[in-house]
Structure 1
Amino acid sequence: MTAVAESITHELLSRATTVAVRPRYEGNNICTWIGFKHVNYLVEEAVLDHFRQSGLSSRRLFEEFGLGLDIVSIDTRILNAFHLDEVGFATVVPKIADGSDRLDFTVTITKEGGTTKDVTSKVTVALRKDTYIEPTDAYPSELERFVVAKIGGAEPGERVDVAANTALSEGRGTSAGDDPVLKQLTAGRNAFGWKWRIPYPYCHNNERLQMSGYLRQMEEVVDLFLADRGISIKTLLDDRRWIPVVPHSKIKFLDEALMEEDLYTIYTVEEIFKDFTYRSRMDTYVVRDGRLVQTSTGTITHGYAVIENRRDWKLVPFDQRVLEAFGRVNPS
């Protein structure tokens, strides 16, 4: 264990690492700009590579030590848009205080040839003891303070009635206003609710929804919310060449969400800033033993940009149609 211990104390907890990252083609949805989800994927890859360079790759942690590497909090600011094929250099700096049981890191990404930061992020990692396959305590003692038996530990909330309306035949779940849980969670709030069965491609370590799954969830609930309010992505794209842009997003785990559980995602418009950006909150819940358990919370800030040509865009203020769509409140 000596070599591993030295790697942990020096490489993982003390030394900064840098890796070249390039966004995936999948993230190129409008012209050649890369969406916020895939920028967060670059942050995730940089953190995973930091562990890899220290000699504690996510594969080794799981296979040898029975520890799942979970990003449990991510807070990312996009200062300049990423384009398809651009390369960034991501630097990960450990921010672990003496005696702390939190694996905290900062990540900055600067484009190749650039001199200013294009992305900044704060990330927290948990090492979750695997219990799906025979659990083990055969991991280095130096990791002990970072190991958790479970992520989070949210207290169960109100009792709720559950409707059986996420059958496989209904595909992507439901946003029906008569769903009792969605109705309870959105009543009197400027919110949109979506109930959905967690699929295995969004999970890892055999059972848990992972951070990239929550990022996909955040992207999709925004898409559904805008369509519900009559200003879908394609509607504004076709009508006026407007596209949503995201300068800031963050997600934090509060508990674990498990494969094939029904996930209740509530998207609430919180604040509009000077008619140029608006901030919304995403909260997710599961129902266990008839009680709500909140599994995550996060926020995302959006603006709109008008496409000037295949290369350039500029921010535009919200008009009345968009402001009215953001401002609707569901009746109690």
Structure 2
Amino acid sequence: MTTHAETAVKYLLGTETTVRLRPRFEGSNINTWIGFKHVNYLVEEAVLAHFRTAGLPSRELFEEHGLGLDVVDLDTRILHAFHQDDEARAVVVPTTRDEDTRFRFSVTLYVERDGKELKAVTSKAEVSLRADDYLAPLAHPEELARFTVERLGDGAGRGPRHGTDVAVADNTALAAGRGTTGADPVLDQLLAGENAFGWKWRIPYPYCHFNERLALSGYLRQVEEVVDLFLADRGISIKTLLDDRKWIPVVPRSQVTFLDEALMEEDLYTVFTVDEVFKDFTYTARTDFYVVRDGRLVQTATGRITHGYAVFENRRDWSLVGFDERVVRALNGDLPQA
């Protein structure tokens, strides 16, 4: 007799789904354009809708089977910008192979422009089902065992600093604010010799889900915030270039991969490293995330971002712009001496 889980998994692995979504108002920070974080939220929502349509929504997975649904790898390319009130047609195509232990999906977002539908976003997403151990365990359907893990992240591709012994400073007390970008022994060790910026930050509960774990959306927020802090630290803050030149940041590609778990109220060390400035038009950067456990670094996630600038011509239109010497020098860490 075919079980509900068996039918649902067959659907998840073999059926393409379509859902219509709109970006949230919160995502339009400059004029009416939607930032990369909220575009990624649309991708995540499309994946959640795919599970819902299959008959295994995230709520049921957790409440009935003790399984937390986590998007643990996301690689997104933005081809056309989203605006407020745009409606995306999101198409989710299963791409899981027989040997895979994660659900894999290709997600495409389409948007209408001047009566024509354009491919606006392409993304690859991977999903793990994390067995909850915060509450009493529940039995998991056999059909889901292949995709169920006791801990998120397989550790593949961890950086060379993972496992390094470190000394920790107690400098994220609430009385002193939630984080620091200043002198810190762990940040000093992580940043040594690199064209990088670091931020130590206490993980708050609004960035977490399933009781204690930093969620994908939390990492995306962290990427957005560390870019903001990095640019300000280099003297080209987002508002500075916005006021001086009407330049706005654009992110054509972003990627986040889980390597382990980061927990509520742990100190998260975020390191933003500039890899390459490409033809003075875009730059690529790596974002690495660490916590310290038992005096050693544990890398919990890594990611990459491609960043550029556009100049807006009016409240609706913008065009890409090349970097000038000031921006290139700042990105390369060639800062003027005080």
TM-score range, shorter chain: over 0.9
| Aligned residue among 190, 194, 215 for 2:195 | 190
Indicate conservation of the 8 Å contact 2:105/2:126, yes or no: yes
The structural deviation recorded for 1:3 is 3.9
What is residue 120 of structure 1 aligned with on the other side?
A: 122
1:157 correspondence with 2:157: no
Matched letter for residue 204 of structure 1: H
1:172 correspondence with 2:178: yes
Indicate conservation of the 8 Å contact 1:78/1:248, yes or no: yes
* TM-align CA RMSD: 1.4
- Summarize the alignment of residues 32-181 of structure 1 with structure 2, pairs less than 5 Å apart: 32-112=32-112, 113-136=115-138, 138-154=139-155, 157-176=163-182, 178-181=183-186
Matched letter for residue 200 of structure 2: K
Higher deviation after alignment, 167-176 or 60-69: 167-176
How far does the alpha carbon of each residue in 1:236-291 deviate from its partner, in whole angstroms, 9 at most, with x for none?
A: 00011001101000000000000000000000000011111000100000000000
The structural deviation recorded for 1:135 is 1.2
**Aligned partners of 2:196 and 2:98: how far apart in 1?**
41
Indicate conservation of the 8 Å contact 1:191/1:329, yes or no: no
How far does the alpha carbon of each residue in 1:108-148 deviate from its partner, in whole angstroms, 9 at most, with x for none?
A: 00014543311000000000000000012x22111110000
What is residue 298 of structure 1 aligned with on the other side?
A: 303
**Aligned partners of 1:329 and 1:2: how far apart in 2?**
64
What is residue 10 of structure 2 aligned with on the other side?
A: 10
**Aligned partners of 1:84 and 1:7: how far apart in 2?**
37
Unpaired segments ≥5 residues, structure 2: none
The structural deviation recorded for 1:10 is 2.6
SS at match of 1:321: helix
What is residue 199 of structure 1 aligned with on the other side?
A: 204
Matched letter for residue 63 of structure 2: E
**Aligned partners of 1:166 and 1:43: how far apart in 2?**
33
The structural deviation recorded for 1:98 is 1.7
**Aligned partners of 1:37 and 1:212: how far apart in 2?**
8
Indicate conservation of the 8 Å contact 1:8/1:142, yes or no: no
Indicate conservation of the 8 Å contact 1:192/1:225, yes or no: yes
How far does the alpha carbon of each residue in 1:148-199 deviate from its partner, in whole angstroms, 9 at most, with x for none?
A: 01112548511000000001122230001x2000000001100000000000
| Aligned residue among 254, 258, 266 for 2:259 | 254
SS at match of 2:180: coil
The structural deviation recorded for 1:19 is 0.3
Indicate conservation of the 8 Å contact 1:71/1:124, yes or no: yes
Matched letter for residue 227 of structure 1: A
What is residue 208 of structure 1 aligned with on the other side?
A: 213
Unpaired segments ≥5 residues, structure 1: none
**Aligned partners of 2:59 and 2:223: how far apart in 1?**
27
The structural deviation recorded for 1:97 is 0.9
**Aligned partners of 1:80 and 1:196: how far apart in 2?**
33
1:278 correspondence with 2:280: no
- Tell me: CA distance 1:184–1:41, structure 2 relative to 1, closer, same or farther (3 Å): same
Count of aligned positions: 328
SS at match of 2:274: strand
SS at match of 2:251: strand
- Tell me: CA distance 1:187–1:62, structure 2 relative to 1, closer, same or farther (3 Å): same
The structural deviation recorded for 1:8 is 2.5
- Tell me: CA distance 1:262–1:329, structure 2 relative to 1, closer, same or farther (3 Å): farther
Matched letter for residue 7 of structure 1: T
TM-score computed with the length of structure 2 as normaliser:
0.94
SS at match of 1:50: helix
TM-score computed with the length of structure 1 as normaliser:
0.96
> Percent identity of the aligned residues?
67
Indicate conservation of the 8 Å contact 1:304/1:317, yes or no: yes
SS at match of 2:315: coil
What is residue 239 of structure 1 aligned with on the other side?
A: 244
The structural deviation recorded for 1:329 is 6.8
Matched letter for residue 165 of structure 1: N
Higher deviation after alignment, 91-100 or 178-187: 91-100
